[in-house]
Amino acid sequence: MATNDLNKELSKKTNIFGLKVWEVVGIGVGVFIISILCILSLCLTSFNKKSKKSSPPKFPLTQIPSHSKDIKAIHITTTTDHKKPTTTQTGKFETNNNNYSGESGSLFHPLSYGYGSQSGDEGSSGTVTTTTMYRRSTSPTTTTMTAPSPLSGMPEMSQLRWGYWFTLRELDLATNLFSEENLIGEGGYGVVFRGRLLNGTPVAVKKIFNGQGQAEKEFRAEVEAIGHVRHKNLVRLLGYCIEGTHRMLVYEYINNGSLELWLHEGMGENTYLTWEARMKIMLGTAKGIAYLHEAIEPKVVHRDIKASNILIDENFNAKVSDFGLAKLMDANKTHVTTRVMGTFGYVAPEYAYTGLLNEKSDVYSFGVVLVETITGRDPVDYGRPPKQVNVVDWLKMMIGSRRCEEVVDPKIIGVGGRPSTRGLKRVLLVALRCVDPDFDKRPKMGQVVRMLESQDHHHHSL
């Protein structure tokens, strides 16, 4: 009975357009639900607008692959023909293979984590003394110059804690739209242009090739490895540009060539490095590498120390360049295992055979460069007799035969700068320790610096 009464009541017509009671109730419930949904939608829309206003700007990272600590490609090149280098910079500035060609790391560390500049004891600015370190005449000249900050006068809003965020327009203006006349080098993953900033500072701009995974890795490695590092013996990365698909790195411009160019071609007729200049360059190189290994955290293993990656400024200071293959290592790690990448003739044997990498791999490569600097010979030269193809093996054979003085580059003798027998033996000992096949027996770069400084002090005290 109760059910029938309820049905009758719900079936009665109302004064609202003659609708039945149950129809009115249904419409009311529907309107209520729709109202609730509208209110919720308005609240969510308002909340999203506030979130967008308060959130920081997002950078275009869609073109950058996720970070990987491991290197996925093998990259071994040979440098045996110095008359036709892979890439050269016009004038006195030279690159080979990947000079100024920049792998691993979080690209925006300077912004996300607030890296500050880490400076070596020997900074890159201040008053310096210039002395002639090559021989074309017998009278050295000395001048004094002051090196200002290369970023002074640039807009502050674009300056990072460690450098400068360049726009594509700024670099277009600096390089005259990347004109061919400003092209100074080309590597495996990019091309390098000479440029001049609005404040007059000369720079080298490396334009990374698009669409190459290893090129992106080299770009990341360069930014992470030396973006926040300052040392007089490391090429300074002034900043970078990320705009659309463009990836560019901006370095200080070094206009006095590379060690490879000076050793094997000279910088003019009868112009070669003296023994003193060579030792100054090698000491500076050792200081730069020691800083990477022992003075910063995480430490940096360069992985491609070679003569063409040691640039020379007008004061004959060494500038280690090309950090595109660099690996970052935590202090608690003794080594990492990775694919072999580097340049044939300079790669440490344990790294070449097993992929075992640590800072002693750089020590070996430095030792090869030191041998190359002493002898003036390529690390590997197939144009020589079989026993002389590998310069390290040849040097060991010569020393074993007590023919030390015969290993000195004849060009040194030609410019009247032959080292003393004692001084030569001390440097040869450093080189032999660095290229020891057992990496545990190789010295640390800090020890190499002290040994070379001791040799330098002994030379000046004679």
The more confident residue out of 255 and 117 is 255
- Whether the per-residue pLDDT at 252 is higher than 80: the answer is yes
Angle at 390 between CA 387 and CA 396, to 5 degrees: 75
| Alpha-carbon torsion angle 360, 366, 367, 373, nearest 10 | 180
User: What DSSP element (H or E) covers 30?
Assistant: helix 21-54
Angle at 193 between CA 82 and CA 345, to 5 degrees: 30
Residue 256 near residue 312, CB atoms below 8 Å? yes
Instruction: Return the bridge partners of 237, or none.
Output: 251
Query: According to the annotation, is 207 in a ligand binding site?
Result: yes
β-strand partners of 390: 380
Between the alpha carbon of residue 115 and those of residues 4, 100, 110, 280, 303, the distances in Å are 80, 22, 5, 31, 23
* pLDDT category of residue 253 using cuts at 50, 70 and 90: very high
What is the rounded distance in angstroms from the CA atom of residue 219 to the CA atom of residue 247? 8
Q: 228-266 burial, b if ≥16 CB within 10 A, otherwise e?
A: bbbbbbbbbbbbbbbeeeebbbbbbbbbbbbbbbbbbbe
User: SS3 for 297?
Assistant: coil
DSSP annotation of 431 reads H
Please tell me which of 312-316, 328-332, 433-437 the model is most confident about, judged by mean pLDDT. 433-437
Question: pLDDT at position 266, please?
Answer: 72
The residue from 172, 304, 409, 456 that is catalytic is 304
- In whole angstroms, give the CA distance from residue 310 to residue 343: 14
- Euclidean distance between CA atoms 150 and 81, whole angstroms: 35
CA distance 135 to 129: 18
DSSP classification of residue 341 = E
Name beta bridge partners: 119. 230
Mean pLDDT of the chain: 77
List strand residue ranges (DSSP E) for 332-406, in order. Answer: 336-337, 341-343, 356-357
pTM, rounded to two decimals? 0.67
pLDDT tier for residue 251 given thresholds of 50, 70 and 90? very high
pLDDT at 414 over 70: no
CA 282/CA 310 separation, integer angstroms: 9
The pLDDT of residue 172 is 96
Percentages helix, strand, coil for the chain, rounded to the nearest 5? 40, 20, 40
How far is the C-alpha of 328 from the C-alpha of 319, rounded, in Å? 20
Burial of 119 (0-12, 13-18, 19+ CB in 10 A): middle
81 is catalytic: no
Confidence of residue 146 (pLDDT cuts 50, 70, 90): very low
Length of the chain: 462
Considering only residues 22 and 130, tell me which one the structure prediction assigns the higher pLDDT. Answer: 22
Q: How far apart are CA 236 and CA 311, in angstroms?
A: 12
DSSP state of 422: H
Q: What is the model's pLDDT at position 20?
A: 78
3-state secondary structure of 458: helix
Inform me whether the pLDDT recorded for 211 exceeds 60. Answer: no
